[in-house]
Amino acid sequence: MKYKTKSRHIFILMSLLLITSLVAACGGPATPAPQAEPAKMEEPAQTEESTQTEEPARVEESAQTEEATTEETTETASATDSTPDSGSVELPEVDPLAVTGDIISAGSSTVFPLSERMAERFQDEGYGGNITIDSIGSGAGFERFCVAGESDISNASRPIKDSEVESCQSIGREPVEFRVGTDALAIAVSQENDFVESVTLEELAMIFSTAETWADVNPDWPAEPIQRFIPGTDSGTFDYFVEEVFDKDEEPILSAGNLQLSEDDNVLVRGIQGSPYAIGFFGYAYYNENQDTLTVLSIEGVAPTGESAEDGSYPLARPLFIYSTAGIIAEKPQVGAFINFYLTYVNEEVIDVGYFPASEDTLSVAEASLLAALK
């Protein structure tokens, strides 16, 4: 993409802004938006007709050219191509161009980057509707999904709890789980931190609870107060960490001093960047995105990598999910189409986002449950 940096552009822009805002001042702000709307709405309508007749032919064409000419196609692409062959399930192919209607999703901030990427790709490939993704934490996501019943898809970095299933059922929703990837929960420190490289789970528990200074945990470390940055109490990441490190007891970690909590992992990253004595944890993607300023710690000597997350040797590897219901999928075909698209292509994007792919088996389980829901 080319950007022109001439100052003239800014001038034009400023004057345009001036005009638009003057229009706005005269009470006409409603005019531009409705004009934009019909144009948006017409597009999908045409799509539905045209794609039915012409598109499949073209797809085959391009698929053929692809096969004929690819010798060095990327590995990920061929991997997903083979997925349907190896598994027992085969999802119907989605044509995002033919999909209309809005999709509302909310939930985990850990899953957010992945869902955001899939949504962007879905839109990039022609989906004309609107996907909203709110990054509010797994718990709040289920709240909207199961209690208020206002979201179509719930992102979660932990499995749904029984109590949540119950409240879902009480509003007539039967949640269906789709595994979309694996996260290695990253324990991160600033790159200015030169004394910690690896911690044990016990040290981790001390760092995030009783220890005042780093020296309290390990005498070799400096006697500086520990600054803790952790995800908010409603996030799946927090729940998961407490479960794994503190055996489900929230008391010690929340009683620790110098504690910062935020549902927005970006706030945590910025906080950890700021001091050599800061430490925090979040989904691996946020580390991945900030590799130049953060260092990720090994736990019990195991560094978080694709392999260690996959085979479970990294102690804090955990699954990532999205949830929906058969009812919603039946009622809103666009939701089914998006989940289908999500499961089909997630392995092409997941590494770039910063997580690790779920194994073929778990993915085909998800695909099977989608197929069941689609019927």
Interacting stretch for another protein, rule CB under 8 A, among 53-61, 154-162, 302-310, 311-319?
A: 53-61
266 binds another protein (CB under 8 A): yes
Hey, which residues does 319 pair with through a beta bridge? 182
Query: Cβ contacts of residue 127 below 8 Å, gap of 6+?
Result: 96, 97, 99, 334, 338
Distance between CA atoms of residues 147 and 168, nearest Å: 6
The first and second tokens of residue 314, run together, are 């990294």
Strands 175-184 and 317-325: antiparallel
- 13 or 372: CB nearest another protein: 13
90 binds another protein (CB under 8 A): no
Contact present, 258 and 228 (Cβ < 8 Å): yes
- DSSP code of 311? T
Shortest CB 300 distance to another protein, Å? 27
221 binds another protein (CB under 8 A): no
Per-position b or e across 104-132, b if 16+ CB within 10 A of its CB: bbbbbbbbbbbbbbbbebbeeebbbbebe
Closest CA to 332 of 125, 62, 32, 105: 105
Interacting stretch for another protein, rule CB under 8 A, among 115-123, 193-201, 315-323, 358-366?
A: 115-123
Distance between CA atoms of residues 235 and 149, nearest Å: 19
Nearest-5° Cα angle at 326, 322 to 329: 80
- 1 or 88: CB nearest another protein: 1
Shortest CB 19 distance to another protein, Å? 9
Considering only residues 134 through 173, tell me which ones interact with another protein, judged by CB under 8 A. 134-137, 139-140, 143-144, 147-152
- 7 or 88: CB nearest another protein: 7
Helix (H, G, I), strand (E, B) or coil at 321: strand
- 77 or 374: CB nearest another protein: 77
289 binds another protein (CB under 8 A): yes
Considering only residues 301 through 360, tell me which ones interact with another protein, judged by CB under 8 A. 328, 331-332, 341, 345, 348
Among all chains, which residue has been given the structure tokens 């925090």? Answer: 280
Shortest CB 84 distance to another protein, Å? 14
Question: Of all helices (H) and strands (E), which one includes residue 347?
Answer: helix 333-353
Considering only residues 222 through 261, tell me which ones interact with another protein, judged by CB under 8 A. 224, 227, 232-235, 250-251, 254-255, 257-261
Distance between CA atoms of residues 129 and 50, nearest Å: 17
Neighbours of 241 (CB within 10 A): 22
Neighbours of 33 (CB within 10 A): 8
Interacting stretch for another protein, rule CB under 8 A, among 32-40, 202-210, 309-317, 354-362?
A: 32-40
Distance between CA atoms of residues 363 and 292, nearest Å: 32
Interacting stretch for another protein, rule CB under 8 A, among 178-186, 194-202, 212-220, 273-281?
A: 273-281
- 259 or 365: CB nearest another protein: 259
Distance between CA atoms of residues 125 and 243, nearest Å: 40
Could you say which of 75, 85, 124, 220 contacts another protein (CB under 8 A)? Answer: 124
Among all chains, which residue has been given the structure tokens 């997925």? Answer: 83
Interacting stretch for another protein, rule CB under 8 A, among 35-43, 84-92, 200-208, 309-317?
A: 35-43
Could you say which of 91, 104, 184, 217 contacts another protein (CB under 8 A)? Answer: 104
Count the residues of the shown chain that bind another protein, applying the rule CB under 8 A.
Answer: 113
Shortest CB 205 distance to another protein, Å? 16
119 binds another protein (CB under 8 A): yes
- 102 or 307: CB nearest another protein: 102
Neighbours of 259 (CB within 10 A): 15
Could you say which of 11, 21, 42, 301 contacts another protein (CB under 8 A)? Answer: 21
13 binds another protein (CB under 8 A): yes
92 binds another protein (CB under 8 A): no
129 binds another protein (CB under 8 A): yes
Query: Within the chain, how many helices (H) and strands (E) appear?
Result: 17, 12
- 124 or 162: CB nearest another protein: 124
